[in-house]
A and B are shown apart, each in its own frame.
Chain A
């Protein structure tokens, strides 16, 4: 197990290095100059050159990349003289537009996205898996058919459509809920939950559809397997058969997908954040792209990659825990 984890971490490191190199190269190919965007109206060619120097983008690309990597481990400074700005390690860059180290921006935005994804995931997993299980166990009944119908509708809907409908019904038309907002969990848990209820409901309903269908199919397949019949034959209660044996086997592929879903969502739930006016990582990324705020784009892209890579490792480890047939070596 230990060796497995170490090996995976090494591979992950290489993956991230490659991703960072590619992202860096892509930005180098961007036709518009970030210096020009930053410099604004009163800009002469000399001003632009100065901004480029301040941003460090007047250097050759390999040098810029080396500085970037160095910044992550030992920190770096930008500008000179009275206008020097420190960016302590782990420095992912400095945003001159925001006058902040990128790490700080990410630290402010990440909890928002985390909260959205965390609540949403709890909801969609609980709802989806239990609905799927129940339909499988009541196969062919009215319940099963209704559940399939609802989940089919859910799976074919989009966040921007369903989210706007919820907003209209619960906020604009009736005022039952306040417009979503983010309050840190540590500050006021009740407000944190109320403010995020709408995005949770949206993500929960839409994603649970997929999980319900998946777990229903998995469950049906597992229920027809030999070991389930053996368990039944040994006289176990149907509760034990379903929960301890069948569910455990059926859930592995669901864990894989959930891991990837959660991992990629953490990189930013841009559409959800935009619809509900929440300032998470996804919005930060898209805004940064609009303003050519490259250090922020670079950092968020990398971070998204980190989440997916980490989610993959976690899923692999969880496999071994859930399914005794899988052994890591």
Chain B
């Protein structure tokens, strides 16, 4: 499982973040700094009322109009098999429906419910190995033909093809554990069999997954676009990216790569079969290739043509001051995402626990944040998991001021001045941030040597087990909001390999691994608390990282956009209940 996200393009964040963790948050407004002592409770809902269409009407909303979404760059992929980035997943959700989905209404309540399926999946033998989904009756494609379970199976089958491999690989890996997910099956192309082992479709509305091992997270994995239906007859292979066959409320009207994507209504979409989407606008138009500052300026100015527009691109630092005035501030949508950024300490090289603790006391999290845009970019972190994770509870092992505690550092270092190599990606933003950290740590009594790395190979370099660096920044966003997609990949020493590691501190403690196994064996309802306790234990006993900040979203929309709430599942403005004021 490599649910990783590691690219940071220009701008604050958002643009290239892989996504879809989700956050059953109890907080309504959000905002980078509002997540202080909050506790998260996640839930998968099997309640009939939650799983039934149509979606509850939004007060004051009306159908009609064209919503414009101004973006910095085009989507890398819209093909459901290749779709792994939050903006793509939300855009993809307009065109196709996965087995499950996140039901949100902006009140802070978020539920995982069935989307194509009638509920989030039946654990047939109560051992998490056999999962059965029943498709809703009456779901149709854009040409009026019915969506069948065979199309869901085909969609998953084609995601094994190496030409379509950019999406998440959870279900694929669970079907074929041990070794690469596609070592034994490479999809239905060039003579491959039509359906992978372990998937059965006894009738047109039933699909059954049989995994060799237990996977209690299946309802979450089934919410990723991998399980969206693709009819074999409509599969245009690599070109499917440009025109997915619609099973959702909209279909592609025109698509000019890097310029614009226009969606129009799918007349065969029946709101009564859909518990998630209101689909109020008649059309949605994505405009690509606009500069981040340009988008923000246009939305701040709110000219008539841009009043029905919004963006998933964060407001850049230069434009922030202009978003706090009346008339603009109420058009800001902000809040935490599922990403946490930490300063990884290479525990193979920095073996002295006191030095690791001293780094935690020394860190000026405020400065690290200021370098990339301040409060709008995030809020200081003290935990390993994001506040959007189920079961999250605030703790702070060190209780240091946000700008650091020099007395404590001096005491822990005991007269030594450790020399450490700080590696960073050579993008403008990351360089600024690394420079802020270098200055901060130098002032606190460390000798820091900077080592810039070409951005495209940054994670390859620091993901090499015997890399020659001591400190490096890294961000991680979970693919769904439970600790099981955060703690094991990042802090279980058994997952360390020679290259391509996610465990960047290389923490390898048998006691932590044992705890991981113990929490995994707990009943699903108790796991969330277990992961959070383990989060704290790791920081208290082994200090493998300096938690720097929880990433935040800071987006703008025009004055005629109604109900633009922040999706806790994706960390960007949700489109499901959005409407245009007349």
Contact = CB atoms under 8 A, between A and B. Distances in A.
Interface of A: 31-32, 36-37, 39-44, 46-47, 50, 54, 79, 81-83, 85, 96-100, 105, 108, 167, 171-173, 175, 178-179, 274-275, 277, 279, 283-284, 287
B321 to A, nearest CB: 15
Contacts of A279: 258-259, 288-289
Scoring B161, B287, B289 by chain A CB atoms within 10 A of each residue's CB, the highest score goes to: B289
Contacts of B291: 274-275, 277
A195 to B, nearest CB: 11
Nearest to A105: B257
B289 A41 contact: no
A42 B239 contact: no
Scoring B161, B190, B258, B456 by chain A CB atoms within 10 A of each residue's CB, the highest score goes to: B258
Contact of A47 (B162, B297, B456): B162
A108 B294 CA distance: 23
Contacts of A41: 2, 4-6, 18, 84, 166
A41 B167 CA distance: 9
Contact of B76 (A40, A172, A277, A284): A40
Contacts of A98: 257-258
Interface of B: 2, 4-6, 18, 73, 76, 84, 161-163, 165-167, 169, 180, 189-190, 237-239, 241-242, 256-259, 287-291, 294, 297-298, 300-301, 303-306, 454, 456-457
B242 A99 contact: yes
B189 A81 contact: yes
B258 A171 contact: no
Contacts of B161: 83
Contacts of B6: 41
A242 B564 CA distance: 65
Contacts of A275: 291, 294
A46 B500 CA distance: 14
B476 to A, nearest CB: 12
Nearest to B257: A98
A47 B166 CA distance: 11
A171 B166 contact: no
A105 B300 CA distance: 32
21 contacts: A39-B165, A40-B84, A40-B165, A41-B166, A42-B165, A43-B165, A47-B165, A82-B237, A83-B161, A83-B189, A99-B239, A99-B242, A99-B257, A108-B256, A167-B297, A172-B300, A172-B303, A175-B303, A277-B287, A287-B73, A287-B258
Contacts of A283: 289
A31 B453 CA distance: 13
B289 A277 contact: yes
A31 B301 CA distance: 42
B189 A179 contact: no
B163 to A, nearest CB: 5
A35 to B, nearest CB: 12
A46 B181 CA distance: 13
B301 A42 contact: no
B298 A179 contact: yes
A85 B242 CA distance: 14
B289 A287 contact: yes
Contacts of B454: 31-32
B567 to A, nearest CB: 22
Contacts of A179: 298, 303, 305-306
Nearest to B300: A172
Contact of B456 (A32, A99, A171): A32
Scoring B169, B257, B306 by chain A CB atoms within 10 A of each residue's CB, the highest score goes to: B257
Majority SS at the chain B contact face: loop
Scoring A39, A40, A167, A175 by chain B CB atoms within 10 A of each residue's CB, the highest score goes to: A40
A81 B190 contact: yes
Contacts of B456: 32, 36-37
Contacts of A83: 161, 163, 189, 237-238
B354 to A, nearest CB: 36
Contact of A54 (B163, B257, B301, B303): B163
Given A81-B189, A172-B301, A44 B18 contact: no
A318 B71 CA distance: 44
A284 B166 CA distance: 23
B189 A82 contact: yes
Given A108-B256, A279-B289, A287-B258, A172 B189 contact: no
Contact of B166 (A40, A50, A99, A287): A40
Nearest to A284: B258
A83 B240 CA distance: 11
Contacts of B242: 99
Contact of B162 (A36, A50, A173): A50
Contacts of B297: 167, 172
Given A44-B180, A108-B256, A96 B238 contact: yes
Contact of B294 (A47, A50, A97, A277): A277
A60 B287 CA distance: 39
Nearest to B259: A279
Contacts of B162: 46-47, 50
Closest A-B pairs by Cβ, 5 of them: A82-B189, A81-B190, A172-B301, A98-B257, A279-B259
Contacts of B287: 277
Nearest to B291: A274
Contacts of A31: 454
A172 B238 CA distance: 41
Contacts of B169: 42
Nearest to A81: B190
A82 B84 CA distance: 23
A274 B241 CA distance: 26
Given A79-B238, A100-B257, A279-B259, 12 more contacts: A31-B454, A36-B456, A40-B76, A40-B166, A41-B18, A42-B166, A172-B303, A175-B303, A179-B305, A277-B287, A284-B258, A287-B258
Nearest to B295: A277
Contacts of A81: 189-190
A283 to B, nearest CB: 6
B257 A42 contact: no
A171 B300 CA distance: 12
Nearest to B304: A175
Contacts of A167: 297
Nearest to A112: B259
A32 B242 CA distance: 27
Contacts of A47: 162, 165
Contacts of B305: 178-179
A274 B294 CA distance: 9
A270 to B, nearest CB: 12
Nearest to A287: B258
Nearest to B240: A99
A224 B318 CA distance: 54
A99 B294 contact: no
Contacts of B288: 279
A43 B73 CA distance: 22
A173 B256 CA distance: 31
Contacts of A54: 163
Nearest to A181: B287
Contact of A171 (B165, B238, B257, B301): B301
Nearest to A49: B162
Nearest to B70: A277
Contacts of B18: 41
Contacts of B289: 277, 279, 283, 287
Contacts of B180: 44
A283 B74 CA distance: 13
Contacts of A277: 287, 289-291, 294
